Chains A and B, each alone.
Chain A
Amino acid sequence: MKLEGKIAVVTGATGGMGSLACRTFCENGAVVIGADIDQEAGEKLEAELTGDGYDFRFVPVDVTSGDSVRRLAATVKDRHGHLDVLYNNAGVVLGKHVLDTTEEDWDRVHDVVAKGTFLMTRELAGLMPDGSSIVNVASAGGIAGQAGMSAYCSAKGAVVLFTKTCAIDLAPRIRVNAICPGAIDTQMPRNFVATMPDEMAKAVWDDLANGHLVGRFGRPEEVVSVGLFLASDDASFMTGAAVVVDGGWTAK
């Protein structure tokens, strides 16, 4: 029970990695507030986790809206008075050649990934006491470029340096670290290739798998295990780190 008695907020709570993070944090003794823009999926997740006996509450949140994030912060403050773990996991993916990327595409990706992480951090850090932890889910694409993903990699790169800067600004009270996953087998990449012609989808999928030295996609639990470690007191000397969980993608 690495998070016994801790209060945790997870954004993007209904996605593949987010919902597993919610469950894993609950299993490790945390009280978890799951935030997501998808109300229906959020309520379903709440029913599942509370049905299993966990202390989990869903709160609908649009991380791109300061007002929405401030309402979440007020809810956390009213209910719990403080926050120990902030897990900024909400994100969107976009695969488009840079010359085909529209202003709307660019803004959407940066709003959710970069601005969302900023707003969550700014509005919730005030509730976080000494020894608390912020974990930002960035990407291996925030360290190395990927074909056809300029907006995504740019936004994830922003999260990596935002993490390092916040680690300095918020030290020594709050530890701030990033996780940089490779391609993880969740609905997100499946939806991503589903928009492509079949043959291309297969080629892109295989390319992604083979981009990892281990020749496969990562599994959500392989990312959440890092999140759990960084959120816990076991990582008490870690701050400003970007932990790569990419099956060796960026080692080559």
Chain B
Amino acid sequence: MTTLSGKIALVTGAGSGIGRKSAATLAREGAAVVVSDVNEEGGRETVDIITGAGGEAHFIAADVSSEEQVDKLIAGTLAQYGALDCAHNNAGIGGPLVDLADYPTDGFDKIISINLRGVFLCMRAELRHMLPLGTGAIVNTASTFGLVAFPQAAGYVATKHAVIGLTKAGAIESAAAGVRINAVCPGAILTPMVEEQAETLSPGAPDAIFDVLNSLAPIGRLGQPQEIGEAVAWLLSDAASFVTGSAMVVDGGWTAR
């Protein structure tokens, strides 16, 4: 029994990490998935993983910070599959890992353009399609950093807080029309982005960083991308039909304390 049979789904940032597992999980649940990423190689690999498992997927390259490319992404999705029922706006970067006092302006502008402007552009384009039809579901990848702060990540913390705001703003405007919008807030998840950050912060000895990350959550370990994929698939399915405007925390208990 699959929960997204016959649905058309779009996942941005699907070339690796959480987005890849989300796309694969949506496909497992019966959706045809448009896999989008700025990284063409990773995106095509995700498509291969899905089709190799018997699922349906199609790659469209897009830089979510570009209005033109996002509009083309939505048009391309409709051209390929004729519909767009579910969207997971997941593309994001970690940004500079320095104190706010040292945070570079160009680094700040860049993280805003992808993590915040990108989600805004995607949501707007998706809603322009979904609202007239009176149906649809959107999940945005926020973060525990959308709820609490962490040192040396001001740009990331700020953009993820903003994603929760965008989620709620979109949800209250769209609920009556039948479109649900929620955020998922992953805690520390073992993704290529986090692995890269650990290497940056502790060159040659990333385990020192992983020890810290493992101890952040009461559950005592990092999460796996699949554990976020399951939450996203659930939020996008009709099983979550009364859930909108929420920020669902999947963080092994990090923000419980």
List chain A positions with a Cβ less than 8 A from chain B: 163-165, 167-168, 171-172, 175, 181-182, 212-215, 218-219, 222-223, 225-226, 228-229, 234-248, 250-252
Contacts and interface: CB of A to CB of B under 8 A. Distances in A.
Contact of A238 (B221, B246, B250): B250
A244 B59 CA distance: 33
A163 B255 CA distance: 12
B242 A235 contact: no
B253 A229 contact: no
B244 A248 contact: yes
B220 interface: yes
B101 interface: no
Given A171-B219, A237-B223, A237-B227, A243 B251 contact: no
A229 B187 CA distance: 18
A181 B255 CA distance: 20
Contact of B224 (A214, A237, A247): A237
8 contacts: A171-B218, A223-B242, A237-B251, A240-B254, A244-B243, A246-B243, A248-B172, A252-B172
A159 B233 CA distance: 27
A213 B172 contact: yes
A246 B168 CA distance: 13
B67 interface: no
B194 to A, nearest CB: 14
B221 A172 contact: yes
B19 interface: no
Instruction: Identify which of A219, A225, A244, A248 gathers the most chain B CB atoms within 10 Å of its CB.
Output: A248
Contacts of B252: 171, 237-240
B4 interface: no
Contact of A239 (B175, B246, B256): B256
B171 A213 contact: yes
B245 A234 contact: no
Contacts of B189: 237
Given A164-B256, A225-B239, 8 more contacts: A171-B220, A215-B175, A226-B240, A237-B251, A240-B252, A243-B243, A248-B171, A248-B245
B218 A214 contact: no
A243 B246 contact: yes
B249 interface: yes
A166 B253 CA distance: 10
Instruction: Identify which of A164, A239, A246 gathers the most chain B CB atoms within 10 Å of its CB.
Output: A239
Contacts of A246: 242-243, 246
Contact of B175 (A163, A171, A213, A243): A213
Given A171-B220, A172-B221, A234-B230, A240 B257 contact: yes
B244 to A, nearest CB: 4
A248 B218 contact: no
A222 B220 contact: no
B176 interface: yes
Given A172-B218, A238-B250, A250 B257 contact: no
B241 interface: yes
